[in-house]
């Protein structure tokens, strides 16, 4: 899931960059770059600007959501890595060693 969201995040970043670079500035007229035939374009006279602006806003909102999701995943990974839940201790019951079975005990003769 993390890898899928990361790939979507990167694709959204590239699309946002491309859309921002394609859009004209506020001072530039559409007729200056397209030869004056603004009404004969695919989106209409001012439709391309509105379409690209809305598409950029949608991609930016999705980018924001993927950013938050990746941050939540990163926090969960960090919390899991530093929590004490991951440390597993195996505690065996302590059995006292009798002096007869100890290797350091002196040998007794009876």
Q: Which residue did the predictor score with more confidence, 5 or 100?
A: 5
Residues 31-51 have pLDDT tens digits of: 555 555 555 555 565 556 788
The number of beta carbons lying within 10 Å of the beta carbon of residue 44 is 13
Read off the pLDDT of residues 70-101 as tens digits, 9 standing for 90 and up: 999 999 888 777 777 655 556 666 665 555 55
pLDDT of residue 3: 92
97 DSSP assignment: P
Cβ–Cβ under 8 Å, residues 36 and 29 = no
Q: Which of 57, 27, 59, 54 is nearest to 43 (CA)?
A: 54
* Closest C-alpha to 43, from 15, 61, 22, 27: 22
pLDDT of residue 80: 73
């Amino acid at each position: 899931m993390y890898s899928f969201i990361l790939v979507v995040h990167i694709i959204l970043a590239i699309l946002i960059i491309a859309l921002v670079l394609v859009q004209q500035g506020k001072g530039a007229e559409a007729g200056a770059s397209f030869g004056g035939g603004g009404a004969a374009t695919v989106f209409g006279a001012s439709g391309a600007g509105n379409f690209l602006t809305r598409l950029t806003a949608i991609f930016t909102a999705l980018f924001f959501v993927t950013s938050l999701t990746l941050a939540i995943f990163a926090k969960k990974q960090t919390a899991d890595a530093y929590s004490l839940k991951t440390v597993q201790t195996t505690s065996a019951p302590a059995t006292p060693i009798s002096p007869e079975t100890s290797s350091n005990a002196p040998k007794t003769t009876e």
